[in-house]
Structure 1
Amino acid sequence: MTTDEKTQIDKAIIPTTTEDVVTTKEQHYPEESSILKNMSEEERKIIERRLVRKIDLRVIPWVALLYLMLSLDRNNIGNARLGTLEEDLNLQGNDYYTALTIFFAGYVIFHIPSNLMVKWLLPSRWISATMILWGICSICQSAVHNASGLIACRFWLGAFETGVGPSTPLFLSFWYQREELATRVALYFGASTVAGAFSGAIAYGVLGNLSGDHGIAGWRWLFIIEAAPTILFGLMSFIILPNLPETVGKRWLTPEEKAVAIDRTRRSGNTDDKAFDKNQFFGALLDYRNWLAFIIYIGLNISLASYSVFLPTIIRDLGFSALNAQLLSIPPYVAACALVFLVSWNSDRTLQRGYHVASVSALTIIGYIFLLATENVGVRYAGAVLVACGIYPIIPLTLSWVSNNNLGHTRRGVAIAATSLCGQCFSMLGTQIYKTQDGPRYIRGHAVCLAFMCLGGLSTITLRFLLKRENDRRDKEYGVPETTDLSEDVDSNDRLYEKNPNFRYAL
């Protein structure tokens, strides 16, 4: 990034009068403002559609690929366990569960710092650097010879994965409008369901064909094969990923497209003059609405953490061989992938988050009831499929909901990170509730997940009710807003953020 680009981001011209508010856009971005003035509304819509297509084609496939690698490197320990990992490393007692849990300790500690670094260091730099580092940690797992080495690798793997996990939804919010975000976040997070399917297929091939090749155990080959591309993609991310609309060059966006991209961020109130704002930081943490979202995400992550690493074991204990269990772990992820995209697309179309979260939560609840209620293999496997179909759509829906309802980069970044952080804290519980001695029914694990999913569903209904009540109060006090343009608030000396009379919470 050039010095001029850096200056363009950092400088702030603060208006003091009504006349200043009208002209501040020209002062901030004179070239782009001039282009917009000479552009008709019809031309603007055509350019905006072209712009969104360009962003979709360049950004979404790439970040989805990055999250696929993240999911593979995070969860392949569950597949490796069905090899000889525990025997080769002489894991005793709770060593395996400690290795699972310590990952989330690293992930939790670095959540908020990582999201604050995104704008300061710029997305391409931060995402690229952290990918390379977690790829190194993941490959190092193939070289460990005891529990201590595995635990250390898993901790730093979790720490560096925060550079993509919670940071990418924040990065996407720099480029997309609120009614566009859930579908794009779904395409990003949907890669985790694809990774679940790939992971089973890759593990089947590696453990079945490479075990012992060159004197290397199959589970070691699994870590090497799935982690090596991560480092390559990390290096490529520095070149491929754009940073902020204000900094893109003419080689990617035309001057007209750049002008529209900047205007889109301002109309949605999605801009700040500085990388960190103390008031926004504490505002995000003290907002009760965000805390209800935290509870939703807690219920999700207890199920998600246990499901993603224990699904092969659960299927094996239905009566299948270890290799067949790898293959049978693929269909739940395929079904979940389809539902993630469908539900998120409809959520964006209607700008309704709460109803969709509640509906897929109900699917998960039914799935756990199936797993608990019978010993029939078919019904229990159907329950495993329903659990996947329920938990995975909640991820993009909840994070988009939080992003939609927090304005300002610091506030949005902290809110997204804190939501994910709270969920990951309880992910540690998710890795501990399925014990070998509880198989093959795993009553305790399924019951705990069921209880927390019910809590998450109840929180969803409560949050939507409170947001609807607040929107109704604002409609009564200020009238129904004729526009969602918040650009004047962006240019104001005293930003209102969520208190702007034109702002309404996404339901």
Structure 2
Amino acid sequence: MRQREKSISSISLEDVVCSHGSVSSTERRLLRKLDFRLIPWLSVLFLLLSIDKNNIGNARLGTLEKDLNLIGNEYYTALTIFFIGFVLFHIPSNLLVKRLRPSRWISCTMILWGVCSLGQAFTHNAAGLIACRFFLGVFETGAGPSAPLFLSFWYQRDELATRVAIYFGSATAAGAFAGAIAYGVLGTLEGAHGLAGWRWLFIIEALPTIVFGFLSFIMLPDTPETAGKWLTPEEKQVAIERIQRGGNTDEKSFDKKQFVAALIDYKVWFSVVIYIGLNIALASFSIFLPTIIRDMGFDSLKAQLLSIPPYIAAACLVFVVSWNSDRTLQRAYHIVVVCVIGVLGYVFLLATTKVGLRYTGAVLVACGTFPIIPLTLTWVSNNQLGHTKRGVAMAMTGMIAQCFSILGAQIYRAEDGPRYIKGHTICLIFLSLAACSACTLRALLARENRKRDELYGVPESSDMFGLNIEDLYDKHPQFRYAL
């Protein structure tokens, strides 16, 4: 054991980065291991989670409302209650993820999520469906939003957006899978063994979630400091020093000063506004896309199939945009461009009755919303030092914005079909607000960087290794905000 500790401590930062500034072979090896172990597994988990969250929209095209005797606003209440559970437990989840160990917290909440999703198949009234949806919202906070925070324990600022994009890109792939699965299940299993097709849909999509939740106890690591034998001593030390270079040197799982600092940080509140604009569009799009396409004049089964291409296009764009954002370390410009694409999509949906152009608008809306998720969350993570401050900032961004997802779940009413003018207009306005907020935040951060350059000089590097950031965190003279 002592020999092992000696071999680790003998590795210096010079071994991490070569003298000419390139990444060392040890760090390249470490990144490959991280990318092959963390990203695919988390992406599968989020894919399953996204399918389970949004499949109520696919189930609605079956006989769900009729079988459960849903009347009045009960279906919309079931949609809304999900976001209430999500909002209430968002910050507690991000504070618990490190204290209870990421592998245990993510795995447990994933299993419980799957159980609640499965429970929807055996409900017989509105109350049962609403209860299941509430606890789905509660447990998503552990299996979904905690993952980007978990990834920030392992990746650097200019590496994070691409990895978070792959993770959240699985949500767009989930939309494609959901449409294909729903088409097959509702078309072939209706009435099988005395169960309606929508019940089979919940069963078939929930069981893999539970299985992968149990497997996650084995597959997911925790932090670099507690990494097991899958990392060599050299790789483990490099992983630890990489995190220290990014300013993650605080040992506390909860810091009251950081908690308060996150609550009053204007950067966080601008990010909240950006995410609000996204979430109103995203919540409505994910749930109501099959209905919107059906009301273009297609039958229910064909609408399931036609919901696939928008998600495929969005999945491709999520990766490309996030990769370029990491390459340039520019977040705001990419957010604005993506918002413009989404706004154009809503213009198409609003301005014409031609099916081809309206369907093109649906594709553009998907491309203009999903990429904003990794870009915004990565931007928040990049500009917060300290585990508590970062965790609370990311949780606030998602939590407050999800309150407005309740609006997104309510704005598409049957009586407004088939054009849904009110719903499309609301989404267009809020996406425009997100773009304006991103521009404003970038200008404020650029001004702050210029002030620090004038007062303290331009830093030779962005590394925070060996610097005392206690009580200063992202206000440290060496630190510069990502734009």
Scaled by the length of structure 2, the TM-score of the pair is 0.97
| Aligned amino acid, residue 34 of structure 2 | I
Contact between 1:335 and 1:389, CA under 8 Å: does it hold in 2?
Answer: yes
- The 2-side partners of 1:412 and 1:40 are apart by 25
SS in 1 for 2:127: helix
**For 1:92-241, what aligned pairs fall within 5 Å after superposition?**
92-241=71-220
C-alpha displacement of 1:30: 6.5
- Where does the alignment leave 5 or more consecutive residues of structure 2 unmatched? none
Q: Which residue of 2 aligns with 1:23?
A: none
Q: Name the structure 1 match of 2:480.
A: 504
Contact 1:340-1:393 at 8 Å conserved across structures: yes
Residues of 1 paired with 2:17 and 2:379: CA distance? Answer: 29
Q: Contact conserved, 1:318 with 1:440, CA < 8 A, in 2? A: yes
CA distance in 2, matches of 1:257, 1:413: 26
**Structure 2 counterpart of 1:22:** none
Work out which of the residue numbers 414, 432, 436 in structure 1 matches 2:414.
436
Question: Given that residues 13 and 241 in structure 2 are in contact (C-alpha distance below 8 angstroms), is that contact kept between their aligned partners in structure 1?
Answer: no
- Distance in 2, matches of 1:41 and 1:432, equals 52
Q: Deviations over 1:50-86 (max 9, x none)?
A: 1001000000000000000110010000000000000
Kept in 1: contact 2:16–2:27 (CA 8 A): no
SS at match of 1:320: coil
**What residue number does 2:46 align with?**
67
Partner residue of 2:18 out of 24, 31, 42 = 42
CA distance in 2 between partners of 1:433 and 1:165 (Å): 25
Equivalence for 1:475: 453
Partner of 2:56: 77
| Residue deviations 1:408-433 (CA, integer Å, cap 9, x gap) | 00000000010000111100000000
Distance 1:465 1:209, change over 3 A: same
2:235 to 257, 261, 273: 257
Q: CA–CA distance in 1 between the matches of 2:282 and 2:233?
A: 43
Q: Match for residue 21 of structure 1?
A: none
The residue type equivalent to 1:154 in the other structure is R
Matched, 1:275 2:257: no
Distance 1:298 1:45 in 2: 41
Residues in 2 aligned to 1:34 and 1:272: alpha-carbon distance in whole angstroms: 22
CA shift, 1:102, in A, is: 0.2
User: Which AA in structure 1 matches 2:203?
Assistant: I
1:263 maps to amino acid: E
- The Cα shift of 1:499 comes to 1.6
* 1:406 matches 2:384: yes
- Aligned match for 1:445, one of 413, 423, 448: 423
Taking only the aligned residue pairs, the percentage that are identical comes to 67
Query: Is the CA contact 1:489–1:495 (under 8 Å) kept in the aligned structure 2?
Result: no
C-alpha distance in structure 2 between counterparts of 1:395 and 1:88, whole Å: 35
SS in 1 for 2:482: coil
Q: State the distance in 2 between where 1:88 and 1:31 align.
A: 65
Query: For 2:263 and 2:189, how far apart are their aligned partners in 1?
Result: 49
SS at match of 2:371: helix
Other structure's SS at 2:287 match: helix
- Cα distance 1:258–1:315, how it changes in 2: closer, same or farther (>3 A)? same
Look up the match of 1:327. Answer: 305
Match of 1:373 in 2: 351
Partner SS, residue 148 of structure 2: helix
Instruction: Write the letter of the residue equivalent to 1:456.
Output: A
Cα distance 1:38–1:433, how it changes in 2: closer, same or farther (>3 A)? closer
- Aligned-pair distance for 1:40? 7.6
Q: Which amino acid aligns with 2:343?
A: I
Q: What letter matches 1:168 in structure 2?
A: A
Aligned length: 477
1:405 is displaced (CA, Å) by 0.2
Cα distance in 1, alignment partners of residues 6 and 410 from structure 2: 57
Q: Please give the secondary structure, in 2, of the residue aligned with 1:188.
A: helix
Q: For 2:265 and 2:179, how far apart are their aligned partners in 1?
A: 41
Q: Deviations over 1:102-140 (max 9, x none)?
A: 000001100000000110001000000001101000000
> Which amino acid in structure 2 is aligned with residue 375 of structure 1?
T
Higher alpha-carbon deviation: 32-41 or 191-200: 32-41
Report the secondary structure of 2:155's partner residue: coil
State the Cα deviation string for residues 172-208 of structure 1 (Å, max 9, x = none).
Answer: 0000000000000000000000000000000000000
CA distance in 1, matches of 2:309, 2:213: 29
Return the alpha-carbon distance in structure 1 between the equivalents of residues 240 and 168 of structure 2. 26
Residue correspondence of structure 1 range 292-371 to structure 2 within 5 A: 292-371=270-349
Separation of aligned partners in 2, 1:383 and 1:271: 46
Unmatched tracts of structure 1, length 5 or more: 5-28
Q: Is the 8 A contact 2:16 2:26 kept in 1?
A: no
- TM superposition shift of 1:31: 5.3
Residue 488 of structure 1, CA deviation: 2.2
User: How far does the alpha carbon of each residue in 1:359-418 deviate from its partner, in whole angstroms, 9 at most, with x for none?
Assistant: 000000100011111111111110000000010000000000000000000000000010
Kept in 1, the 8 Å contact 2:16–2:238? The answer is no
Query: Is 1:33 aligned to 2:9, yes or no?
Result: yes
Q: Partner of 2:226 in structure 1?
A: 247
**CA distance, structure 2, for counterparts of residue 472 and residue 255 of structure 1:** 40
- Give, in angstroms, the shift of residue 41 of structure 1: 4.4
SS of 1:488's equivalent? coil
| Aligned amino acid, residue 102 of structure 2 | P
